[in-house]
Amino acid sequence: TGYPTRWEDQTKYRGGWVVDGQRQKSLRLRLQGKWGTLTNIFYNPYLPTLDDYFEPWTYDYQNLITAPLADEQPTARAISMVTGKYMDTIEAGPNWDDDLGGSQVYANNDPNFDGASDEEMRQ
């Protein structure tokens, strides 16, 4: 549901704007004001983490180039760009859910549809 995971979920990342409760006519950032920026300048608990962005990886292309002739095709295993070690599973990444863009699976996990009625979801 986006990149980073649930990036449109404004309650998780405190994104967007809210109407100021005292004046009702002015907008303020949901995340923080001037003083909040100063206190969170080196650490902000609401920003996405590496787990939200997924671990970047590349492939062992050298294995494709140097593999000896065989009946089976050689494969290029995924290698973490953070640790440099082989990765056994890749759970998600950028554009991971693009193929689900119009599907019910994607819509059920989209924070923009929280609170939508069944009729609205069918449309």
Q: Quote the CA–CA distance of 108 and 97 in Å, as a whole number.
A: 13
Take residue 121 and report the two structure tokens written for it. 């979801």
Tens of pLDDT, residues 46-104: 888 887 878 889 999 998 889 899 898 888 999 999 999 999 988 777 766 665 566 66
Task: Name the pTM for this structure.
Answer: 0.56
Q: Are 90 and 96 in contact (CB under 8 A)?
A: no
| Predicted confidence (pLDDT) at residue 38 exceeds the cutoff of 80 | no
